[in-house]
Amino acid sequence: MTVPTITLNDGTSIPQVGFGVFLVEPDDTQRIVSDALDAGYRHIDTAAIYGNEIGVGRAIETSGIPRDELYITTKLWNSDQGTQSAFDAMDLSLEKLGLDYVDLYLIHWPSPHRDRYLESWLTLEQLRADGKTRSIGVSNFQKAHLDRVIEGSSTVPAVNQIELHPAFAQRELSAYNRARGIHIEAWGPLGQGKYDLFSMPPVAVAAAATGKTPAQVVLRWQVQTGNIIFPKSNNAGRIAENLDIFDFELDDDQMAAMDSLDAGRRVGANPDTADF
């Protein structure tokens, strides 16, 4: 199975579909990430705050897959925003992952009440210059946060990883990013299972018509929308299912029906007001 790659604004490329490990228990992470690598995933999305970077690293090491065939993302946690604290956090993540570099390092949340995301961004620029990460990006950044880092630095983020699923399609923020050359990574691509997405008619009808599962229809909608995704599952069958979305296409009517599900329904925290 060939997963398409997307070229980012810094010239690097990223597999459009990866595997996310939010809420994967540290003790289960090596086994579950190994299942994902066996199923063909080559892109793993973790974060310092997930507490499972060691398990991700062990799965990478035991896989025997050459480092340059893997794409690994981790993220700077909010309380480590700053200069020296961010340098230290990066080193600790690399140590836990057992890697010399990651492919993508993200500021996890703008955490505006700390007012340190611009300083952190300048640190990420230095981390990239030092070879500790190939690309740098942000997560959960709203327009004002993006404007500030773009105006205050010499690097436009390669990606913005934001909550995005059919009932929270984020069209306006996506267009804002796109216009600046920033690629969207959609977190919670299946709505984190927090609403009854799979039985909604556009999903169920497209699943019946294509012979694919509702989850595959939603993930296919994400891919055709142009988003980078990394759905999470602990189940080997579903892990394989979520990558098996490149042998069918949603037609224009099916895409339009999926687009009609947008209801501004956020299931996670609002980045402007989150107090963590």
Residues annotated as catalytic (active site), given as ranges = 50
Nearer to ligand NAD, 122 or 240 (CB): 240
Kindly state the smallest distance separating residue 188's Cβ from ligand NAD, in Å. 4
**Count of beta carbons in the 10 Å neighbourhood of residue 7:** 10
Nearer to ligand NAD, 84 or 107 (CB): 107
13-15 and 5-7 beta bridge pairing: antiparallel
Contact between residue 121 and residue 93 where contact means Cβ atoms under 8 Å apart = no
- Token pair of 101 as six digits: 């570099």
The Cα-based distances of 45 to 64, 75, 97, 275 in angstroms read 19, 9, 12, 24
Kindly state the smallest distance separating residue 44's Cβ from ligand NAD, in Å. 8
Kindly state the smallest distance separating residue 233's Cβ from ligand NAD, in Å. 4
Nearer to ligand NAD, 94 or 239 (CB): 239
Nearer to ligand NAD, 130 or 201 (CB): 201
Give me the residue whose beta carbon is nearest to ligand NAD: 20
Q: Interface with ligand NAD by CB under 6 A: which residues?
A: 20-22, 45, 108, 139-140, 161, 187-193, 215, 230-233, 238, 241-242
The alpha helices in 40-116, defined as continuous H runs, are 53-63, 84-97
Backbone angles phi, psi at 243, to 5 degrees: -95, -15
Across-strand partners of 272?
A: none
Kindly state the smallest distance separating residue 71's Cβ from ligand NAD, in Å. 13
Nearer to ligand NAD, 132 or 231 (CB): 231
Residue 182 has what DSSP assignment?
P
Kindly state the smallest distance separating residue 52's Cβ from ligand NAD, in Å. 10
Calpha distance 234→70 (Å, rounded) = 20
DSSP 103-142: EEEEE----TTT--HHHHHHHHHHHHHTTSEEEEEEES--
